Structure 1
Amino acid sequence: MTTDEINYKIQQIVDNKKNLPGALLPILHDIQHEFGFIPEQAISIVAYSLNQSDAEIFGVISFYAHFRMKQTGRHVIEICRGEACQSMGSGALEAAAQSQLNIEYNQTTKDNNFTLEPVYCLGNCACAPSVKVADKVYGRMNSEKFTKLTDTLATYKINVGELA
Structure 2
Amino acid sequence: MADGLNLSRAEVHGVVSFYHYFRSTPAGNHTIQICRAESCQAMGSRGLEAHAKKVLNIDYQQTTADGDITLEPVYCLGNCACSPAIRIGDEVHGHVDIAKFEQLLSSLRTQVVEVK
TM-score by length of 1: 0.64
Instruction: Pick one of 19, 26, 45 that aligns with 1:64.
Output: 19
Pair 1:115 & 2:70 matched: yes
Other-structure match for 1:157: 112
Structure 1 or 2: more helix by fraction: 1
Tell me the CA shift for residue 129 of structure 1.
Answer: 0.6
Deviation string, structure 1 residues 33-56 (Cα, Å, up to 9, x no partner): xxxxxxxxxxxxx22122211111
Q: How many percent identity over aligned positions? A: 52
In the TM superposition, structure 1's runs of 4+ consecutive aligned residues that sit over 6 Å from their partners are none
Instruction: Pick one of 38, 48, 51 that aligns with 1:96.
Output: 51
Higher relative contact order (CA 8 A, sep 6+): 2
Q: CA RMSD in A?
A: 1.5
Q: Which has the larger radius of gyration?
A: 1
Other-structure match for 1:80: 35
Number of aligned residue pairs: give it: 113
Instruction: Pick one of 65, 88, 92 that aligns with 1:137.
Output: 92
Tell me the CA shift for residue 101 of structure 1.
Answer: 1.6
Q: Which runs of 5+ in 2 are unaligned?
A: none
Pair 1:52 & 2:13 matched: no
Q: Which runs of 5+ in 1 are unaligned?
A: 1-45, 159-164
